[in-house]
Structure 1
């Protein structure tokens, strides 16, 4: 994996829908950048709005026992890893279940989304960056106006925040033709610069399971 260019994992090929590294990973204050508001084609806006509006409950559905057991093993391993950030088991389970659901729904690697959350908010639900980005995935408030009802306070709702974040990241991946390095930079508002993509992919390693 090079500093300049990262490639998507096989999971990311699923169907579509400056501070230093240590500061990005450890600061108590959110140091996230911010997605930049850009013109969207009507077809893109419609597709993204539809993806946001489909508020199915985050309940995983499995069609075979092996898949369900794999998910339960993943849930147990990640719950142990997250226990220092979220002490209550029920809260951890709900959070991880929703991350898994929204990541899969958007065709994203779950470990990538967890790594991004670690860097963006350090798993703090009510984190706010200096740029005004909000919540777990540090979504800029303008997205609620562009794609939703304009109520930025909804970005502090767990599933809303994770859904917006995953849909936006998938959008940036498609804009960058699958280039994860550039897509992560665009997510952070630092397209073309290495610290943020490198921080996310480094944090992602904490959440990879066998």
Structure 2
């Protein structure tokens, strides 16, 4: 009859525990080293580097122009030439506009007593000479009956060689002194005669309206 002795249950001593821990730690280190090695695989989306947005000086996101939208700066030479051309064209355009501007129509007056008086009144107004249509018409009818070629050849002026002439019977020296620029330099011209007489009456009597007899 064979007999054998059963082995004793192995007892783990402190020394065995330390050795086992060392082996476990060494295994973990190896695993980490293997994991840390670079991989040839493409990085996943989670590891993709995010695009960096430009930031302005105040910390706010800077405006980004889409490709093709960014304004192109003109070459200085092109800008200079364009400015010179514009400067040369400006006077021409202004001159052209001046030539094409409609001209104010010249006021027309009838070639009769009414027209002469109205034309004289407009000239008197522009020169600051007082007088009314009634004042002029009343004195004209008394002096010459509306005849621009009337001549007085019997009074003292006629005797002295300077007869009164025209619508308001003006003598030459008075006409020369009170002639109004813008009218004909002729004593018997209807408008010139009326305007000069009104100018004389304004200086002597304040207005032709104040004259009711020979003056």
TM-score normalised according to structure 2 size: 0.36
Structure with the greater alpha carbon radius of gyration:
2
Larger relative helix fraction: 1
